[in-house]
Amino acid sequence: MNEHKLHDGSLYWPKTMSFFPTYPSLRERAMTQVAIIGGGMTGAICAATLAEAGIPAVLVEEKRVASASTAANTGLIQFSSDIMMSGLADRIGERDAVAFYAHSRKAVNDLGLLAAAVPQDGGYRVRSSLYCASTDEDAPKLRREYEMLRRHGYAADWGFPAGVGSDFMARYPAAFVTHGDAEINPVRTAHAFIAQAARSGVRVYEHTGVANVRRRGDWFALDCEGGEILARTVVRATGYLPDIEGAAGCEPILRRTFALATKPNSVPAEWNRDHMMWETARPYFYFRTTPDGRIVAGGLDEDSPDPVTGEPELQARTAKLLAELGKLFPGSRFEAEHAWCGSFGESPDDLPFIGEHPETPGLFHALGYGGNGTVYAMLAANMLVARLRGQEHPLAGLLRPREVNRAASGKPAVRKAYGV
Ligand SMILES: Cc1cc2nc3c(=O)[nH]c(=O)nc-3n(C[C@H](O)[C@H](O)[C@H](O)COP(=O)(O)OP(=O)(O)OC[C@H]3O[C@@H](n4cnc5c(N)ncnc54)[C@H](O)[C@@H]3O)c2cc1C
């Protein structure tokens, strides 16, 4: 069992569940077409998508479903990545950058369709995003992004939305609003998807860790606590954890990040609740609201792979996040009812690792690192279904598991060498 902790503090989303569905442990030898390792948001989306496509699958989770990074996720669903379309175009060319953004936007919509098809409400609500320039120097960069998005057909409005206070505008020199993003409750959504997949015939096992994945003829054999799974295709949806023997590379650069949820009914009257907010600084400060009027805010990423565990350390970061909110809404007083710290993984080139590893055909990676993990999970599920149907997805070449030159990315290598 993997004992590494991915979060600490008082998580908000699990408190919104009155009942957690449970699933048995594996006690047999199971055969299937697709074995999904990991019962977080990525495994959940893949399981629900495979069920919808009528493809037989088994999902195995070594702890409880939706209890790792998915429980710490703040639930912003945005087609824009941590890297702007314009920045990505500079790096990989405009055609590929535009294709990546187009498929991310499609994934936001597909997630909405998947959410609408399950009986439980996972809180998917369409939202607009206010993207702010953090400094005067960032304002031209933001303008360039706005113009490129418009040129490629994205609905975007330059400036601040009506109602935003003058303190907000004094803090940020420029901003624009994009439309067609969403917010979710990640824990309810992941549970809803897994429950739906289970109803449609996907076999789900909790407390079933996969220790090892080996080739056996045309099959993969997965050694699990309590049994064995034989599958034609294996999906590695294990998030940021060191996971299974026999899985090649694609390790994230791990950081820690902080988040809080205020008390209910604390959204200032001047804020339009249909909007989420983020900025150009890296790391960025961001916030969204919840249906019961909380603000969920986050940021302050630090170059350390482990969550803080001491209460004073967490309180200090929470006070900083509250101070950021206070600067934007000086007329309001905010109190954190929940505050937490979570590990957070980035790929060195800001793109997810999705697809079969060239050295291990059939082992499909669904590792959606970065601030957009949920959108990348939906993208991974779409690419997985395409691959199982023998189709070449347009992003297959760009996102396949690859060697990335970490030193060239300028990002610090803070990955700790955990044992498996
Ligand atoms: C504070 C914070 C805020 C965030 N905000 C956002 C946001 O607003 N929007 C967004 O899109 N993303 C956000 N993220 C990122 C998001 O949480 C992740 O991208 C997403 O949850 C990853 O889901 P996952 O299923 O890939 O990983 P996880 O949720 O970590 O699930 C992986 C699962 O695999 C299981 N597993 C691992 N190894 C094995 C094994 N050998 N056998 C069986 N099971 C195994 C683990 O137990 C775990 O349950 C945030 C992250 C943090 C920490």
Query: What is the distance in A from the centroid of ligand 1 to the CA of 40?
Result: 6
Identify the domain boundary among 346, 376, 410: 346
116 CB burial (10 A radius; 0-12, 13-18, 19+): exposed
Tokens of residue 112, six digits: 């909405």
Query: With a 6 A CB cut-off, is 243 part of the ligand 1 pocket?
Result: yes
Which residues of the chain register pLDDT less than 50?
A: 413-420
Digit-coded pLDDT (tens) for 205-220: 999 999 999 999 999 9
Nearest ligand 1 atom to alpha carbon 366: 26
DSSP state of 191: H
Same domain, 191 and 332: no
- Taking the CA of residue 224 as reference, the ligand 1 atom at the shortest distance is 42
Whether 31 is covered by a domain: the verdict is yes
How far does Cα 402 stand from its chain's mean position?
20
- CA 134/CA 89 separation, integer angstroms: 21
Query: 390 and 360, same structural domain?
Result: yes
**Can you tell me which atom of ligand 1 is nearest the CA of 258?**
1
Q: What is the pLDDT of residue 253?
A: 83
Q: How far apart are CA 352 and CA 370, in angstroms?
A: 7
Judge if the beta carbon of residue 189 lies within 6 A of ligand 1. Answer: no
Same domain, 260 and 372: no
- Number of compact structural domains in the chain: 2
What DSSP assignment string belongs to 71-131?
Answer: HH---EE-SS-SS-HHHHHHHH-HHHHHHHHHHHHHHHHHHHHHHHTSSS----EEEEEEE
Enclosing domain of residue 291: 127-180+253-346
List Cα–Cα distances, 13 to 18, 66, 73, in angstroms.
11, 10, 9
CB of 254 shorter than 6 A to ligand 1: no
Instruction: Enter the tokens of residue 151.
Output: 């040129």
Same domain, 369 and 239: yes
3-state secondary structure of 51: helix
Residue 111 in domain: no
Q: Examine the domain organization and report whether 270 and 395 are in the same domain.
A: no
Q: Indicate whether residue 9 lines ligand 1 (CB < 6 A).
A: no
By most ligand atoms within 8 Å of CB, the mutation choice from 238, 245, 353 for ligand 1 is 238
Dist CA 402 CA 249 (whole Å): 8
Tokens standing for 152?
A: 């490629």
- Expressed in angstroms and rounded, the spacing between residue 64 Cα and the centre of ligand 1 is 12
The CATH number linked to 213 is 3.50.50.60
